[in-house]
Structure 1
Amino acid sequence: MRRALLLDLGGTVFRSGSEMMGIYGEHEPAVRSVVARRGPLGPEPDELWEAMLREEITERGYWARRCDEIGAALGRDWTMQEFMATLYSLPGEPMMRPEAAALIADAQAAGVRIGALTNDLKAFHGDASMSRDPFIGQLDVLVDGSVTGILKPDPRAYALAVEAMGRPPSEIVFVDDMPWNVAGAEKAGMIALQLDLAHPERVFELVREELELDREAA
């Protein structure tokens, strides 16, 4: 039985909020000084991001602060879902990474079981934008921490995903862009790979190797 694939969504399958903030700044001059600070992708240091990496604030805490900052720059008192809907509905900007789309198509064609383990799909996106993407409906498994109440890197989140995937953790290839989530998957016994936000395409080649997709194509 071939290995299964378990993916984070935002930042991994879909482009990261940091990327989308940069694009938003091109469309909306009022936020340009704010979105210059966007993790490893911005031209200015992002102290909030560094605090998150030091685990002084949570990932949700980081995005709550960015939501408030960008809202203030626009003179808007908006919710997280309104903020994310704005980022992920920019005209002409696809949400899904092309490398992820190609990998998923090839994996599905090869009969690979595909699931998602995400912390914030419902909390950040509700019933709009990312949640309506056709890819979500094609998943064999979807475990959303904002529904279960258990967030990565809590070991129980990975246990829920393993149970739903129906494979031993040693046969699950997991991809995420946050280092603590990758470490949690590794502790759970998965084949854990981290996506580099500055070079996201690289991890998908590693996934192909782990799933032996290119070997079959050859």
Structure 2
Amino acid sequence: MRALLLDLGGTVFRSGNEMLALLGEAEPATAAVVARRGPLGTEPDPSWDAMIRREITEREYWALRSDEVGAALGREWPIQEFMHTLYALVGDDIIRPAAAELIADARAAGHRIGVLTNDLRAFHGETAMASHPVLAQVDALVDASVTGILKPDPRAYALAAAELGTAPGDIVFVDDMPWNVTGARAAGMIAVELDLTDPDAAFAVARRELNLDAEAA
């Protein structure tokens, strides 16, 4: 039986770029900054483009956004406080409904479920988000903030496969960063890229790969 492996931020959890739009509404001083929100913004986002070209890392991108938003608000803050501010804007709505449905249905059908994330502790600290109900539903959690092995390093996928006890070829992996998807495919996984402009489409593909709709029928 195939297993499901998910990224967290931007995949299961709504993306920071979605939450930046809410911050712009709540804090008008940030409006010019949050207009640059990767593919979701109303203005070009050179930092996002640099990240996609692999000139900066994802962590470096969010560090830049944290500094820019902090400057607009007249605050100096660590990235964890910035992330806490963003996530507080959505509260219980942080989980994408299609992701929650996929996890629940996969679990009910007996598929093993894992999380492979680069930044849980780095962005949210030792305890924040660690007790989120969605994490209680997974069989394996691999956080590169802890292991020190970030996607797309092949070892990150190998660790996740080992924790799931599933061969890479039987793992359906979903992530919103293209290089992480490429890395998963190179590791032998069935990899699905989530498009931030149409996130539900990726979960529909994952459902088909897990044969969930047929199992339900």
Post-superposition Cα deviations, 1:170-205, rounded to whole Å, max 9, x if no partner, equal 000000000000000000000000000000010111
Partner of 1:11: 10
Give the letter for the 2:124 counterpart: H
| CA distance in 2 between partners of 1:78 and 1:118 (Å) | 23
| CA distance in 1 between partners of 2:56 and 2:90 (Å) | 32
State whether residues 115 and 165 of structure 1, in contact with CA within 8 Å, keep that contact through their aligned partners in structure 2: yes
| CA distance in 1 between partners of 2:155 and 2:23 (Å) | 36
| CA distance in 2 between partners of 1:207 and 1:13 (Å) | 13
| CA distance in 2 between partners of 1:91 and 1:145 (Å) | 25
State whether residues 193 and 203 of structure 1, in contact with CA within 8 Å, keep that contact through their aligned partners in structure 2: yes
Give the drift of 1:131.
2.8
2:141 counterpart of 1:142 = yes
Give the drift of 1:128.
5.4
2:130 is paired with a residue whose SS is helix
- Relative to structure 1, is the Cα distance of residues 71 and 143 closer, same or farther in structure 2, using a 3 angstrom cutoff? same
Identity percentage of aligned residues: 67
Give the drift of 1:166.
0.5
Give the letter for the 1:108 counterpart: R
Post-superposition Cα deviations, 1:66-97, rounded to whole Å, max 9, x if no partner, equal 00000000011000100000000115561000
1:5 is paired with a residue whose SS is strand
Partner of 2:83: 84
2:55 is paired with a residue whose SS is coil
Runs of 4+ in 1 over 4 A off after TM superposition: none
| CA distance in 2 between partners of 1:99 and 1:36 (Å) | 26
| CA distance in 2 between partners of 1:169 and 1:101 (Å) | 23
Post-superposition Cα deviations, 1:124-160, rounded to whole Å, max 9, x if no partner, equal 0114553331111221000000000010001111111
State whether residues 175 and 195 of structure 1, in contact with CA within 8 Å, keep that contact through their aligned partners in structure 2: yes
* Aligned ranges 1:59-78 → 2 under 5 Å: 59-78=58-77
1:130 is paired with a residue whose SS is coil
TM-score, normalization by structure 2: 0.97
2:84 counterpart of 1:101 = no
Partner of 2:122: 123
2:192 counterpart of 1:193 = yes
Partner of 1:23: 22
- Relative to structure 1, is the Cα distance of residues 26 and 128 closer, same or farther in structure 2, using a 3 angstrom cutoff? farther
Q: Which runs of 5+ in 1 are unaligned?
A: none
| CA distance in 1 between partners of 2:70 and 2:144 (Å) | 25
Give the letter for the 2:191 counterpart: A
Give the drift of 1:46.
0.2
Partner of 1:39: 38
| CA distance in 1 between partners of 2:133 and 2:91 (Å) | 17
TM-score, normalization by structure 1: 0.97
Partner of 2:109: 110
| CA distance in 2 between partners of 1:108 and 1:201 (Å) | 19
Partner of 1:163: 162
State whether residues 7 and 117 of structure 1, in contact with CA within 8 Å, keep that contact through their aligned partners in structure 2: yes
| CA distance in 2 between partners of 1:191 and 1:134 (Å) | 26
1:174 is paired with a residue whose SS is strand
- How many aligned positions are there? 217
State whether residues 179 and 194 of structure 1, in contact with CA within 8 Å, keep that contact through their aligned partners in structure 2: yes
- Relative to structure 1, is the Cα distance of residues 86 and 128 closer, same or farther in structure 2, using a 3 angstrom cutoff? farther
Give the letter for the 1:184 counterpart: G
Partner of 1:153: 152
